[in-house]
Structure 1
Amino acid sequence: MRAKLLAVTERLIYTGGIHATGMDRIVRESGVARKSIYRYFPTKEALVAEALRERDERWMNWFVSACETAPPGPPRLRAIFEALADWFSQDDFNGCAFINAAGEVAAGPVHDVARAHKRRLRDYLCSVLAECGVTDAATAAEDLLILVDGAIISARVGGDSRAAQRAARMAHQLVRDQNVSSTTGDSL
């Protein structure tokens, strides 16, 4: 019952938003009685936060698995954007659930889950950049996360079917620039 409740909640907030998804709809579509829901989760915010935690786990597992099919280094960096392009082309693509949630909720458990997801994604990007030989992979990962999030937003809001490919080109330039500045001692 809990798993179904979380799956339905995640689907509803991903497609319609947190504020637009009322508890009545969650009750109706999940088939879980309101009293049972509140036994598991004291508030709607707690329910949404847990649904997003589960999405984080599932999405990161999918993303890392998709990227890890490529060998370490530049091929894996390229795989990041190939995975994003595949995701963007799916019929149910509705942007990043965590960007969407953070846009609706400025603070609290839901925002904390969104922030934790972005940290987790940044940490994975850092490991890929380290495999590419980037000396300051942590700083470069912050930049790469901006490219990833920008591509997601461009694909969703702008309907840009080439957002992932453009972001990939910029990411490869970022790696080249990082590697050149680390060998020459130059920085911006």
Structure 2
Amino acid sequence: MTTKIAVGLERAFAARGFSEPSVEDLREAASVSLRTLYKYAPSRDAMVHMALEHRHRRYINHVFGDPKYQAAQPIETTLDRIANWMKTEASHGCLFHAAVASAPDDQELRRLLERHKSEVCSLAVAISDETVIETDLMIIIEGLTQAWPLCKDAALASAKRLARLAASSRI
């Protein structure tokens, strides 16, 4: 039941932002009764957090699959997968950044954002077949996701060039 609710909440927030959908809109998106929605997510904040936790798991699975079973690969492959996510799931930009922007004083949202970004970069470094500095890679990945809504494939091409430069500077 929680997955069903999380899927609906994520979809609603991704489509309409964090301030627009009413609780009734969110209940409808989750396809459950109000009582059931509040049982699993007892506040609007809990609904946002549930949606973002679900989004995080989907993103990690989309970009990395199960890294424990993945051979080393070029960082360009990871960047291609991130661009594919942006094309299919996040054409307006990062949902985590949007959540923090909608509630800048919410420290729990900031922790979710930081954890998400840190895990993405750690996994990207772990599966890379080249030596890259995690902070360099975070800047490259963040540049790609933030520039995507405006630049699309040009953002991907630039991210790949920067990744090659970052890897070659470590030699």
Q: TM-score, normalising length from structure 2?
A: 0.86
- RMSD of Structure 2 on Structure 1 (CA): 2.5
Size of the alignment, in residue pairs? 170
1:150 paired to 2:110: no
User: Are the aligned partners of 1:88 and 1:155 in contact in 2 as well (CA < 8 Å)?
Assistant: yes
Q: C-alpha separation between the residues in 1 aligned to 2:15 and 2:168?
A: 38
Which one has a bigger Cα radius of gyration?
1
Give the unaligned 5+ runs of structure 2: none
| Per-residue deviation, 1:167 | 0.6
Following superposition, the deviation at residue 23 of structure 1 comes to: 0.7
* Alpha-carbon distance, 1:92 to partner: 6.0
* Structure 1 unmatched runs, 5+: 180-188
The answer on 1:48 being equivalent to 2:48 is yes
Aligned identity (percent) is 19
Give the Å deviation of 1:20. 1.6
Relative to structure 1, is the Cα distance of residues 89 and 68 closer, same or farther in structure 2, using a 3 angstrom cutoff?
farther
Distance in 2 between the 1:148 and 1:88 partners?
Answer: 11
Query: Which region of structure 1 is more displaced relative to structure 2, 75-84 or 9-18?
Result: 75-84
User: CA 1:101–1:41 in 2, change beyond 3 Å: closer, same or farther?
Assistant: same
Answer yes or no: is the 8 Å Cα contact 1:67–1:83 preserved in 2: no
Q: Does 1:103 align with 2:96?
A: no
Residue 170 of structure 1 aligns to a residue in which SS? helix
The match for 1:186 is: none
- Aligned residue for 1:166? 158
Alignment of 1:1-188 (within 5 A): 1-65=1-65, 72=72, 75-90=73-88, 93-106=91-104, 107-129=106-128, 131-132=129-130, 134=131, 137=132, 140-156=133-149, 158-179=150-171
Once the two structures are superposed, what CA deviation does each residue of 1:101-123 show, in whole Å capped at 9, x if it has no partner?
22222223333222211111121
1:32 Cα deviation (Å)? 1.7
Q: How has the CA–CA distance of structure 1 residues 31 and 90 changed in structure 2, closer, same or farther, with 3 Å as cutoff? A: closer
Shift of 1:28: 2.4
Structure-2 change in CA distance of 1:37 and 1:148 (3 Å): same
Q: Is the 8 A contact 2:59 2:85 kept in 1?
A: no
